Amino acid sequence: MRTVDVIVVGGGPAGAAAAQRLNAAGANILVLDKERFPRHKLCAGWITPQVLSDLQLEISAYPHGFLSFRRLHFHVRGPHLAVPCVQHSIRRFEFDAWLLERSGAKFFQHTVRDIRSDGPDYLIDGMFRCRHLIGAGGTSCPVRRSLFGVGQPRTRTLQTATLELEFPCDWRDGDCHLWFFEHGLPGYSWYVPKAAGWLNVGIGAMAVRLRRRGENIRQHWSHLAGKLQRQFGIKPGDPSGYSYYVRDFSAPLSVGNAYLTGDSAALATRDLCEGIGPAIRSGQQAAHAIITGSEYTLEGVTGASLGGGLISRCVDWAFTRGAGRCGSP
Ligand SMILES: Cc1cc2nc3c(=O)[nH]c(=O)nc-3n(C[C@H](O)[C@H](O)[C@H](O)COP(=O)(O)OP(=O)(O)OC[C@H]3O[C@@H](n4cnc5c(N)ncnc54)[C@H](O)[C@@H]3O)c2cc1C
């Protein structure tokens, strides 16, 4: 039996950010992940300046491909707005492994199946014991399932379905493009160029609303593939899918000494479904709560990427109407 102060289940952005804070504070911690890193993670890999600042990341110190966009192109059913911006893209395959290594935390490849309370401690699969537990295992996090799961179903109206593909591509347009609500899509599709000749394209849409329309996300993929070919001369291959949940303001965050972070707590923003930033902040805040003995809160973990103003609220409403409270906290 291996005994430590804190176990972090999941080594993605939420887990790595928590691990870095805890490790720097001298806690005896262990990160468990079912995958060996670097691992594949479906994600467009768009990151905001806030992510860099939360990670205290100097672009020049990042050892992998990193691209900054000069403009964001918003296409809304035809009309088009090019907004000057400073936003960035990374490849999750590289970024997550780098973050985890940078945390300096001990890592063990292990698929967590069974978690139970044992007095003040948590026991994992009869192999690991800890006093504090951070759930950072994404949508199907076993911490949530074991300690928060029963009677806490996810809010179905907040589930996003996605399809995406990342592939080598000699792209010519180095800006990011987002197409909202095309062909009635309850969501948006994207074109995110990356450094070193990579491109990520995909679709995200609210799953319940797609089902109500009697549609399949693959139909929308065909529309996107056609558009990419016409507009950029690009022919994407077969995509892969994954689903996660946007911000549920009523979801529980902690029970006893167990804390949920990132996708396990459904923290992605409601307007653009951006989850990397909220994952990192929540991981850092869970670590802070453990280190200082203070309450774990999501203060500063926004529910909106577009600033929470009118546009942000309109997009949130268009995506998640019927799902309760709109906008950022
Ligand atoms: C197609 C797509 C595109 C996206 N694009 C963007 C984007 O451009 N920008 C953005 O900000 N967000 C984007 N997101 C959302 C973003 O990817 C997630 O919100 C983010 O990865 C959440 O981080 P996390 O650390 O909570 O979880 P994850 O990154 O999912 O990490 C969870 C980790 O837990 C591990 N794990 C799971 N179960 C177990 C288990 N039983 N035992 C041990 N380990 C386990 C997994 O292997 C994984 O490494 C996108 C999502 C999708 C699906």
Distance 44 CA to ligand 1 centre (A): 11
Taking 3-state DSSP, the helix, strand and coil percentages for the chain, each rounded to the nearest 5, stand at 30, 30, 40
* Model pLDDT for residues 59-111, shown as the tens digit of each residue: 999 999 999 998 999 999 888 999 998 999 999 999 999 999 999 999 999 99
Cα–Cα dist 154/145, whole Å:
11
Residue nearest atom 16 in ligand 1 by C-alpha distance: 275
pLDDT of residue 320: 67
Give the percent of the chain with pLDDT over 70.
92
Query: From atom 21 of ligand 1, which residue's Cα is the shortest distance away?
Result: 276
pLDDT confidence band for 178 (50 / 70 / 90): very high
| Ligand 1 binding pocket, CB closer than 6 Å | 9-15, 32-35, 39, 41-46, 111-112, 136-138, 140, 142, 162, 164, 202, 242, 244, 262-264, 268, 274-277, 279
- For residue 290, pLDDT over 60 is answered with yes
How high does pLDDT run on average in the chain?
A: 92
Residues 29-63: b if buried by 16+ CB within 10 A, e if exposed: bbbbbeeebbbebbbbbbbbebbbebbebeeeebe
CA distance 255 to 132: 11
Best mutation site among 33, 43, 88, 146 for ligand 1, i.e. most ligand atoms within 8 A of its Cβ?
43
Q: How far, in Å, is the centroid of ligand 1 from the Cα of 99? A: 13
Cα gap 178→184, rounded to integer Å? 15
